[in-house]
Amino acid sequence: MKWITRARPKIDRIACPWLIKRFIDPEGEIIYVPYEEVLVRASELDAIPFDIPNVEYTHYEDQCTFDYFLKKHQLKDAALNRLASIIRGADTDRHDFAPQSAGLEAVFSGLRHDIADDQQLLALGMVIYDGLYNWAKYLHKQKHTDGPVEQRLIEVYHQYLKTKGDKKPPSWTKELKEMIQDQIDTNMSLSLQQASEELEINPAYLSREFSKYFENMSFGDYIRKMRIEKAINLMGTTTHSFTEIAYLTGFSDQGHFSRIFKQHTGQSPSEYKKSLAKK
């Protein structure tokens, strides 16, 4: 079977061919032509057009063509649903849909900038989507900071970020701090949109109903509570400093951590730790 769409693909027009060849039509031929030629060439070649207006395989409301392929071909796969959220966010500039959306858009924008051959771009895209699918199927619950990596982050903090006196830290410390923060944030990266996709529940409904079943808290407040509970556990089971605990629980700095901690417990971290020592 032949499938045809607009030339110069980037996200959806590479994701859909990947889905076609991996799950729908393994021997399918993917054809890219200029936008104004798609329907004419589709008729000439007896090909199925996709990802253009006024055809069956296209965008519907806030969903992209990849979503329609899943629905049309009844592909019931949790990993594909995770991919759909990432692809939709990247293809519609709604990076709040999934944390990975911004990275996916950046990768394909960069590749398209350098590669003029659409079939070469598709070949690379097939490899990228294979990797993303494997992550979504087998590794999406794995945290980058699990295990010994946490300790390594603390070592990096002591080695590079802890400065003495009033000496201004070198410029690279800010970049390193941001890199560490990015990794720490992956411990609590679940968004309301991701949760709604995983549960197959409308995000507006989930947001409205969430507090009824989670201690009368909003999604954001509940996530902050989880961070504080992790901090309390670290305070009772490790010798980490408050600054280290702030880093390991995803807070931007010790001041931010202390403010949120007191809001939740009624005590500052130091007061709370002293109370633990008395028990």
Model confidence over 194-206: pLDDT tens digits?
667 766 767 777 7
DSSP letter for 169, please: P
Q: Which residue is associated with the tokens 């590479």? A: 14
What are the φ/ψ torsions at residue 48 (nearest 5 degrees)? Answer: -90, 120
CATH class name, domain 149-278: mainly alpha
Q: What pLDDT does 180 receive?
A: 44
SS3 state of residue 48:
strand
Q: Give the CA dihedral 209, 214, 219, 224, nearest 10 degrees.
A: 170
Band (159; pLDDT cuts 50, 70, 90): low
What is the helix (H) or strand (E) element at residue 31, kind and residue range?
Answer: strand 29-33
Band (225; pLDDT cuts 50, 70, 90): confident
Q: Where are the domains of the chain?
A: 2-139, 149-278
Query: Positive or negative CA dihedral for 77, 79, 85, 91?
Result: negative
> pLDDT tens digits for 29-75?
999 999 999 999 999 999 999 999 999 999 998 899 999 999 999 99
Nearest to 99 by CA among 90, 110, 111, 107: 90
Q: How far apart are CA 139 and CA 48, in angstroms?
A: 34
Token pair for 96: 């709040």
Token pair for 170: 């070198």
- The answer to whether residue 27 scores a pLDDT higher than 50 is yes
